[in-house]
Amino acid sequence: MWIYEKKLQYPVRVSKCDPRVARYLVEQYGGADGELSAALRYLNQRYSIPNKVIGLLTDIGTEEFAHLEMIATMIYKLTKDATPQQMEEAGLGPNYVIHDNGLFYNNSSGVPWTAAYIQAKGDPLADLYEDIAAEEKARATYQWIIDMTDDVDLQDGLKFLREREIVHAMRFKEAVEIIKADQGTRKIF
């Protein structure tokens, strides 16, 4: 189904150890509006969406997994040289005690990821509007994380991810218009 090339979609660089920012990024790893939730949401919604836009959900859902890899890499690089004390001070003490520097799907407050984050109504327009909102929320979160760090290398990768959220929202808006136009041409007998 997929061809995997062992490289990130966009290079991830960080210039310093910063567990505090890593904790914020955990939101995009296992939070309600994070990359895992988005990938699973879009790939799940494909089964009740018209064929005219099914490829869009497949493409964006797959790309979200690439973004998940980028976030994981950022978190790893931000914490790999952190001491247990630095992890504790950043609010990652419980994660460190349970997982060391391993990643776990939870949000930045430590609440475990749940399938309840995946929205699927079965109505194409309702689902696409949900998807637009999810992309806009992710865009906002990326901007706020960018604002929380002075690491220009990290900001570069985060800006790439923020821009992809904007593109995804625009593509979902186009899909809404395609579905609306299609519904307007249907004839009922």
* Segment 5-35, tens digit of pLDDT: 889 999 999 999 999 999 999 999 999 999 9
Q: Which range, of 64-73, 118-127, 156-165, 167-176, averages the lowest pLDDT?
A: 118-127
Catalytic-role residue among 5, 27, 63, 64: 64
Catalytic-role residue among 88, 89, 135, 163: 135
Query: 39 lies in a domain?
Result: yes
Query: 72 lies in a domain?
Result: yes
pLDDT of residue 188: 61
Query: 51 lies in a domain?
Result: yes
Q: Is 35 a catalytic residue?
A: yes
- CATH number, domain of 74, equals 1.20.1260.10
72: containing domain: 19-184
Query: 168 lies in a domain?
Result: yes
If you search the block for the tokens 């497949």, which residue do you land on?
58
Query: 2 lies in a domain?
Result: no
Query: 166 lies in a domain?
Result: yes
User: 177 among the known binding-site residues?
Assistant: no
pLDDT at 41 over 60: yes
Q: By percentage, how much of the chain surpasses pLDDT 70? A: 97
Q: Is 177 a catalytic residue?
A: no
Closest CA to 131 of 51, 53, 21: 53
CA–CA distances in Å: residue 101 to residues 7, 17, 114, 154: 21, 13, 21, 19
Query: 10 lies in a domain?
Result: no
Catalytic-role residue among 27, 63, 67, 163: 67
- Classify burial at 153, counting beta carbons within 10 Å of its beta carbon; exposed 0-12, middle 13-18, buried 19 or more: middle
Query: 6 lies in a domain?
Result: no
Number of structural domains in the chain: 1
User: 35 among the known binding-site residues?
Assistant: yes
